[in-house]
Chain A
Amino acid sequence: MSYQFDFAALLPYWPEFVRGLWLTLQLSAMATVLGFIVGTLCAIGRADGPPAVKWAVAAYVEVIRNTPLLVQIFLVYFGIATLGIRIGANTAAVAALVVNVGAYTCEIVRAGLESVHKAQLEAADCLGLSRVQTYWHVVLRPAVERVYPALTSQYVLLMLASSITSQISAEELTAVANRVQSDTFRSFETYIVVGLLYLLLSFVVRIAFWLVGLGVFVRRRKLGTAL
């Protein structure tokens, strides 16, 4: 093995890596928040909606979970263009990621909703809680609390999967890597650096979710256990 590693060649490009890293974070954060809202609404529709809604949500979840993200990204990117609307690559990337992660969130939250015991609903009824109060305090929040670890893993995977949006030239970290390696011909070094950056990012995201969990789920923090 006579290969000479040359990481110094990448040094002039560090502002680009930072920009890419920042866009990756932005894309993932937006997709996470919007995807959580879409997925939770779908889960509610799937659990308590009219039959047509249940059926539509089930079809959406199955179609998304059984096709690759890459193809979904192409469909959103080119599909919207076919309709005559011009959107940027970044917007298309977020849209595709939201559609994708919404389906996974729906499945996870649905499992949480199903885990709420019927006696809890009866107890809420006895306490005179309104329908909305019951749904918010007794069903939704404990359900999300229970599946929070699964959601965290899913959103870390989403952050990693956002690398696929480089294929429609969203200028995030992987796209930056592709450009830098073709400028410097230091492909192996570039991808080692970017791989390490993703690894770092996945730990940071995990810690961020843990902190958010501590802040949001007060009861869990005080009791020290899951419900």
Chain B
Amino acid sequence: MQSFGLAHVEFLAWAALWTVGLSAIAFVGGGLLGFAVALLRVSSNPAARVAAIVYIQIVQGTPLLILLFLIYFGVAVIGFTGVPAILAAGAGLTIYASGFLAEIWRGCIQSVPKTQWEAAECLALTRWQRMTRVILPQALRIATPPTVGFLVQIVKNTSLASVVGFVELAQAGKLINNSIFEPFTIFVTVAVFYFALCFPLSTWSRSLERTLNVSRR
């Protein structure tokens, strides 16, 4: 029987690229959708606000694993068969990320002082102008550290895409383990890969937070 070697590490490294790719899809998709939901969440229309709250509560109240299964089996139900795993996984992670990013960004938008809204209104800016010219640029600064922090969650949660048959880092580890059964060595290596991806992001998020706090003090 073969033992854990360089070929396996190379296989894991390729799988790590898929993890990065899937994270990018989830972040971009989740960012766009999440931004729209965040805007609805702070909109002046009560119906839009309620819809956004319900969406966020549902996404944050169900496990990602169930969300992935629902999409995986749900696309088959509405008549698409043979959807590639990357699309199912990407869609699931997009919805997951949008629910959390929307809530993070809502907090950031609402933490811009109310006087800024009032001043913008006094200058006769329309609601859209107020949002894009006054509020969002300020909210963006506040939003950067928690958003980078959430990126770490996205990277880690792509490991669940293995349940819909997508071969990323965790699934690659399982595949190797099925063939040579050295679980400890294999999963420690997998963990090291994840750590290498996530730790720089965590550190970056923390340093962003520090810089922001200094300038606000």
Residues of A near B173 (CB, < 8 A) are 71, 74
Q: Name B156's contact: one of A62, A67, A188, A195 (CB within 8 Å).
A: A67
The answer to whether B62 and A160 touch across the interface, beta carbons within 8 angstroms, is yes
The answer to whether A74 and B183 touch across the interface, beta carbons within 8 angstroms, is yes
Residues of B near A67 (CB, < 8 A) are 156, 191, 194-195, 198
Q: Name A191's contact: one of B69, B78, B190 (CB within 8 Å).
A: B69
Given contacts A66-B152, A67-B156, A203-B61, contact A188 B187 (CB under 8 A): no
Q: Name A63's contact: one of B58, B60, B69, B195 (CB within 8 Å).
A: B195
Nearest-neighbour CB distance to chain A for B182, whole angstroms, equals 9
Q: Name B194's contact: one of A68, A166, A188, A192 (CB within 8 Å).
A: A68
- Range for the number of chain B residues in contact with chain A: 35 or more
Which residue of chain B has its CB nearest to the CB of A196? B62
The answer to whether B195 and A66 touch across the interface, beta carbons within 8 angstroms, is yes
The docked-state distance in angstroms from the alpha carbon of A72 to that of B187 is 8
Stretch at the interface among A44-52, A75-83, A118-126: A75-83
The answer to whether B195 and A82 touch across the interface, beta carbons within 8 angstroms, is no
A70 at interface, CB cutoff 8 A:
yes
Which residue of chain A has its CB nearest to the CB of B199? A66
The docked-state distance in angstroms from the alpha carbon of A70 to that of B67 is 16
Most buried by B among A72, A79, A163, A203: A163
Within 8 A of A (CB), among B42-65: 57-58, 60-65
Given contacts A65-B202, A78-B183, A188-B77, contact A71 B66 (CB under 8 A): no
- Range for the number of chain A residues in contact with chain B: 35 or more
Residues of A near B77 (CB, < 8 A) are 1, 3, 188
Given contacts A71-B159, A163-B66, contact A78 B184 (CB under 8 A): yes
Q: Name B61's contact: one of A2, A79, A202 (CB within 8 Å).
A: A202
The docked-state distance in angstroms from the alpha carbon of A70 to that of B198 is 15
The docked-state distance in angstroms from the alpha carbon of A20 to that of B199 is 35
Contact string, B148-165, partner A, CB cutoff 8 A, digits 1/0? 000010001101101100
A198 at interface, CB cutoff 8 A:
yes
A174 at interface, CB cutoff 8 A:
yes
Which residue of chain A has its CB nearest to the CB of B69? A191
Which residue of chain A has its CB nearest to the CB of B19? A68
Contact string, A142-185, partner B, CB cutoff 8 A, digits 1/0? 00000000000000000011011011000000100100010000
Residues of A near B190 (CB, < 8 A) are 71
Q: List 7 A-B contacts (CB under 8 A).
A: A66-B199, A68-B194, A71-B159, A71-B170, A71-B190, A163-B65, A188-B70
Closest 7 CB pairs of A and B: A78-B183, A66-B198, A68-B159, A163-B63, A187-B73, A68-B156, A202-B61
